[in-house]
């Protein structure tokens, strides 16, 4: 064994969380936040241990399931604890794991060569096959390994309040190791995970957590001061805040989402960031208001609309490894994505821009959706994503923006820039 022993409260909480994630489809990060809030006696070391146990299993679940030969979460957690050196068979037995000796023997005798490439990469078979068709076997292996790793901690500097150099200096003076992101011009990357909420610079709105890839997607909109822009699936508003900064707080930015609950965290973030150009609405309310005004001023009046569509989330598996457990109906997802894109297109004025984005690494949700849209919308044309990003000083050539964790060090994102003729 290495380091501090594995204590019973850590084990119980990790096992309860793993069971809830696997059996009930709960989101791991939110579940742990709630659990830690309900157990304030747990210190930072305990929380890190529980976090490492839960995410360690989720990132290696298919392999652990094969070794265990069972669908019992306690068996998977026990194997991970053994392999990580956190305990031994005797320690597991004290924690109530009856099959401790059997599991320890199974771990010692297992040969990883028995695993399929999809199991080794912890990827569902159907998605692994699609990646092989898109990327080939070697790069699929590299992608799967990158998605099993822990994501970096990226921040977007709020240029409404400070420069990147000022934010970097504030972080370093507070003892945080940080450096500029290699691609996004307003991004910073921390060397290790850290709690930032207590920092005066965070409370004053100098920066927001946002993956570098998400920052690049927002730049694809090429928002300008004074424009009228829609963030169609705004959610918690990370891209909304980035767009407001691009607009220098001038113009009108509408943050929409079909689910009002997803918008709840956005208003306080706007206040902290000093953003005044944003209106937050549910999609139904916004469309009702638009229909009322359409007769007076024309239906398509927005300079740009960003559609970050609901998707498989395969590009975010570094942060949400449990997302790969969800049943996936790609045909239904693609149909929904096309419907959303069709609706959003009616808001774009002639000469305006429509940006379609996902956090998916699957062609069926990305290029195929854009191609289907263009086939039925002759009034739109594909713009060169590389040229759009170049206006923000970013060199990423290509007709589409396609970000891969193993190539770019970001979450996986896709973006297409379309222009209404």
Positions annotated as catalytic residues are 359
Chain position carrying tokens 């927005």: 302
Distances (CA, A) of 52 to 44, 84, 140, 213, 244: 12, 10, 26, 25, 36
Q: What is the rounded CA–CA span in Å between residue 305 and residue 301?
A: 10
Chain position carrying tokens 């923006």: 401
Q: Which DSSP helix (H) or strand (E) runs through 337? A: helix 330-345
Q: What is the rounded CA–CA span in Å between residue 137 and residue 143?
A: 10
269: CB partners within 8 A, 6+ apart? 208, 236, 237, 241
> Residues 76, 68: contact at Cβ < 8 Å?
yes
Task: Return phi, psi of residue 89, to 5°.
Answer: -60, -40
Q: How many residues does the chain have?
A: 421
402: nearest Cα among 134, 188, 196: 134
> Residues 91, 6: contact at Cβ < 8 Å?
yes
> Residues 369, 334: contact at Cβ < 8 Å?
yes
> Residues 267, 254: contact at Cβ < 8 Å?
no
Q: What is the rounded CA–CA span in Å between residue 378 and residue 236?
A: 33
181: CB partners within 8 A, 6+ apart? 154, 187, 188, 189, 212, 215
Q: Which two tokens stand for residue 301?
A: 């009046």
269: nearest Cα among 238, 247, 298, 297: 238
Q: Which two tokens stand for residue 319?
A: 């942060």
Q: Which two tokens stand for residue 198?
A: 């207590």
């Amino acid at each position: 064994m290495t380091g501090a022993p594995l204590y019973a409260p850590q084990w119980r909480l990790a096992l309860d969380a793993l069971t809830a994630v696997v059996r009930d489809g709960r989101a791991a990060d939110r579940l742990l936040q709630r659990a830690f809030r309900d157990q304030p006696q747990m210190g930072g070391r305990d929380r890190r241990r529980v976090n490492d146990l839960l995410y360690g299993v989720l990132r290696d679940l298919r392999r652990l399931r094969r070794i265990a030969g069972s669908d019992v979460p306690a068996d998977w957690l026990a194997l991970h604890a053994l392999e990580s050196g956190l305990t031994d068979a005797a320690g597991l037995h004290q924690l109530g794991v009856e099959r401790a000796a059997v599991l320890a023997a199974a771990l010692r005798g297992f040969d990883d060569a028995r695993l399929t490439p999809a199991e080794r990469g912890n990827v569902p078979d159907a998605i692994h096959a699609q990646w092989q068709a898109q990327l080939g076997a070697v790069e699929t292996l590299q992608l799967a390994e990158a998605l099993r790793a822990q994501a970096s901690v990226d921040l977007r500097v709020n240029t409404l309040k400070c420069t990147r150099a000022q934010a970097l200096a504030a972080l370093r003076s507070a003892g945080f190791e940080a450096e500029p992101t290699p691609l996004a011009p307003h991004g910073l990357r921390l060397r290790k995970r850290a709690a930032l909420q207590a920092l005066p610079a965070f409370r004053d709105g100098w920066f927001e957590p946002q993956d570098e890839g998400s920052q690049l997607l927002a730049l694809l909109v090429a928002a300008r001061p004074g424009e009228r822009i829609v963030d169609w699936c705004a959610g918690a508003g990370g891209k909304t805040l980035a767009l407001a900064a691009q607009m220098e707080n001038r113009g009108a930015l509408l943050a929409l989402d079909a689910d009002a609950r997803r918008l709840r965290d956005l208003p306080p973030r706007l206040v902290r960031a000093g953003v005044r150009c944003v209106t937050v609405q549910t999609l139904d309310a916004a469309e009702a208001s638009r229909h009322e005004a359409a007769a007076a001023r024309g239906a398509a009046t927005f300079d740009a609309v960003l559609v970050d569509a609901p998707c498989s989330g395969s590009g975010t598996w570094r942060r949400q490894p449990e997302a790969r457990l969800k049943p996936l109906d790609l045909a239904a997802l693609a149909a929904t994505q096309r419907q959303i894109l069709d609706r959003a297109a009616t808001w774009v004025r002639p000469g305006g821009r429509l940006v379609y984005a996902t956090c998916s690494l699957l062609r069926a949700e990305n290029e195929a959706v854009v191609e289907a849209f263009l086939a039925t919308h002759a009034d739109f044309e594909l713009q060169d994503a590389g040229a759009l990003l170049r206006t923000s000083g970013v060199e990423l050539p290509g007709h589409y923006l396609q970000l891969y964790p193993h190539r770019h060090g970001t979450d996986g994102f896709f973006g297409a820039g379309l222009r209404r003729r």
